[in-house]
Amino acid sequence: SQKIEQNSEALNIQEGKTATLTCNYTNYSPAYLQWYRQDPGRGPVFLLLIRENEKEKRKERLKVTFDTTLKQSLFHITASQPADSATYLCALDSAGGGNKLTFGTGTQLKVEL
Partner 1 sequence: GAVVSQHPSWVICKSGTSVKIECRSLDFQATTMFWYRQFPKQSLMLMATSNEGSKATYEQGVEKDKFLINHASLTLSTLTVTSAHPEDSSFYICSAAGEATYNSPLHFGNGTRLTVT
For residue 83, the minimal CB distance to partner 1 (Å) is: 18
- If one asks whether residue 44 binds partner 1 (CB under 8 A), the answer comes out as yes
CA distance 25 to 12: 23
CB 84 within 8 A of CB 13: no
CB 108 within 8 A of CB 38: no
Residue type, 106: G
- If one asks whether residue 51 binds partner 1 (CB under 8 A), the answer comes out as yes
Sole window of 13-21, 34-42, 53-61, 72-80 interacting with partner 1 (rule: CB under 8 A): 34-42
- If one asks whether residue 105 binds partner 1 (CB under 8 A), the answer comes out as yes
CB 56 within 8 A of CB 49: no
Q: Which residues bind partner 1 (CB under 8 A)?
A: 4, 31-32, 34, 36, 41-46, 49, 51, 89, 93-94, 97-106
